Amino acid sequence: MIVITTPTGQIGRQVLDRLLDAPDGTPPIRVIARDPARLSERARERVDVVRGSHADPAVLKEACAGADRLFWLVPPTPGAGSVEGHFRDFTEPLREVIGQQGVARVVGVSTLGRGVAKNAGQISASLAADEAISAMGAHYRALCPPFLMENLLGQADSVRATGTLRLALAPDRVLRTCATRDIAATAARLLLDTSWTGQADVPLVGPDDLSPEAMAQVVADVIGGPVRAQQTTGADYKATMMRFGASEAWAQGLADMTDSLNDQGYYGATAPSTPENAPTTFRQWCEEVLASAVAD
């Protein structure tokens, strides 16, 4: 039995789709969903659904009964009163389930930056959660992408209206990227493979070595209009997130994360590309995903 968390989210939905597309012989699939109505029709027909949040120990315990594999992702919750508390609230029930019910393999979504990122808000909290999960002794693979290309979808209106792409990194420094499709593909592959053991990070770094300025040029080429990169600060990001309803703690975590990316460089040029796990180029993603969002 494979259990999928966040099956209607950006990454979890793609993981579920890939498992449903897998050849016959795929193990039974169970999902944990706050709102099962958001699942696709074919998912509702083919998977077992446990309603609720995977931060709820009772829900997670029910979902993992008889399961030997789990896809794990802590969803962002901008209203959370504490970044560290938010990750801990999800991680502690998982540790309990691993200890009591013996889930053998966990594939989790984490981030680059282990051993480097300091005081990095949500990134630091995610890496700490990894360590807490690993300490339970289950076979664990932490999927570690850098900047997600899909983060730019929220700027489609800005690109269309003002030709501006806002990024925290200095305009001339390399920013490594990854498409969520590649995270989902790797997660599905690992969930279907019962031969791997132990605990390890799986870097998911796309093949590009683009700076924000170069990324803006790619976007301009794809949409056929001028686009420029504009550097933002952690303080700018915090203020914007709070205007959109984020708690001060969550917004401050994002500001700390933003500043750490500039100061510590763990999403930068020193992170080697891993095209075997993350083959999608930034241009390909812009052509297939961003262009239609900007055109809408």
Length of the chain counted residue by residue? 296
Residue 67 maps to a domain = yes
| Structural domain containing residue 121 | 2-145+178-203
Confidence of residue 100 (pLDDT cuts 50, 70, 90): confident
Residue 268 maps to a domain = no
Residue 292 maps to a domain = no
The HSE-up count of residue 36 (CA atoms within 13 Å, CB side) is: 14
Residue 249 maps to a domain = no
Confidence of residue 88 (pLDDT cuts 50, 70, 90): very high
Residue 280 maps to a domain = no
CA–CA distance from 200 to each of 28, 126, 138, 269 (Å)? 26, 15, 11, 22
Residue 96 maps to a domain = yes
| pLDDT of the residue at 99 | 85
Distance of CA 97 to the CA centre of its chain: 22
Confidence of residue 172 (pLDDT cuts 50, 70, 90): confident
DSSP assignments along 213-251, one per residue: HHHHHHHHHHHTS--EEEE--HHHHHHHHHHTT--HHHH
CB neighbours (10 Å) of residue 181?
20
Domain containing residue 83: CATH number: 3.40.50.720
> Across residues 83-93, what is the average pLDDT?
96
| pLDDT of the residue at 64 | 95
Examine the pLDDT at 24 and tell me if it is beyond 80.
no
Average pLDDT, the chain: 94
Q: Give the tens place of pLDDT for each residue, 198-236.
A: 999 999 999 999 999 999 999 999 999 999 999 988 898
Domain count, the chain: 1
Residue 244 maps to a domain = no
| pLDDT of the residue at 102 | 81
Confidence of residue 167 (pLDDT cuts 50, 70, 90): very high
Confidence of residue 296 (pLDDT cuts 50, 70, 90): confident
| pLDDT of the residue at 169 | 85
Between 170 and 11, name the one with better pLDDT: 11
Enter the pTM of the model. 0.95
Residue 265 maps to a domain = no
Give the dihedral sign, CA 85/126/192/24.
positive
| Contact (Cβ atoms closer than 8 angstroms) between residue 14 and residue 181 | yes
| pLDDT of the residue at 157 | 93
